[in-house]
Amino acid sequence: MTLTLDRPGPPPTRLRPRAYRVGVDLDGVLVDWSGAVADQHEREFAWRPDITTWDFAASTALGDMGALMGWVRDRDLFRLAGPYPGAVAAALGLREDGHAVALLTARPAWAHDATAEWLERHGLGEMPLHLGPAKTLVDRDAYVDDHGPTLAALRAAWPWARVFRRVQPWNRPLPGVEDVGSLDGVRHRLREEQA
């Protein structure tokens, strides 16, 4: 069957590209926290720890995660750590592309003020911040993280969401999780979808 119109209708309109609610992890995705820890450790102890596993505290002079976190707190490393190159621009770019970006972190409660100050200093202070280990409680359409167990938990809790693994030496590929080398890689993939 052929359908003919007596007069042409309006030109087809393009649907607005899908806007995602994106949850972006801080440390290991946006913030080079492990680099800050390694740099400070090398200054104080004259050797650089090998940060290739998630629980790297044993490879430091501090020995365990509790001592390491106290050392981090005393040196204010959550406030002083730098962003990964291009990561702040990518987070802001995601927002410019129409996505709603929320920042997710498992940092301890005592790091809230340092974290908020860091975000303000880098122009991200207006983005919602969710502080605490239960990232699966934050409903998003896409997540970006570097922690293997968190990625698996997000994949299980939100099977319809896109989950991106920021590839790092301490994580491995996971089924149903997309690998990216940077936060800009996530932006690029979402922009491809919008095109």
Burial of residue 47 (number of CB atoms within 10 Å: 0-12, 13-18, 19+) = exposed
* Cβ–Cβ under 8 Å, residues 140 and 161: yes
Q: Which residues pair with 129 in a beta bridge?
A: 103
For domain 21-32+83-194, is the CATH number 3.30.1950.10? Answer: no
Q: Would you say 108 and 69 are in contact if contact means Cβ atoms under 8 Å apart?
A: yes
Mean pLDDT (the chain) is 90
- Residues 58/49, Cβ–Cβ less than 8 Å: no
Give the dihedral of Cα atoms 178, 129, 92, 84; nearest 10 deg: -70
Q: Are 160 and 174 in contact (CB under 8 A)?
A: no
DSSP secondary structure letter of residue 58:
G
- pLDDT tens digits along 20-63: 999 999 999 999 999 999 999 999 999 999 899 888 898 899 99
Q: How confident is the model at residue 7 (pLDDT cuts 50, 70, 90)?
A: very low
In this prediction, residue 5 has a pLDDT band, given cuts at 50, 70 and 90, of very low
What's the rounded Cα separation, in Å, for the pair 32 and 121?
15
* Number of helices and strands in the chain (H, E): 7, 6
Phi then psi dihedrals of residue 113, to 5 deg: -65, -45
Q: What is the pLDDT of residue 71?
A: 97
**Collapsed DSSP state (helix, strand, coil) of residue 103:** strand
58-112 pLDDT tens trace: 889 999 999 999 999 999 999 999 999 999 999 999 999 999 999 999 999 999 9
User: CA angle, 114 as apex, 73 and 131 as ends, to 5°?
Assistant: 95
- The packing angle between helices 183-194 and 87-96, to 10°, is 20
Question: From CA 130, how far away is CA 146, in angstroms rounded?
Answer: 16
CA angle at 100 for the pair 98 and 101, rounded to the nearest 5°: 120
Going from N- to C-terminal start, the domains of the chain cover: 21-32+83-194
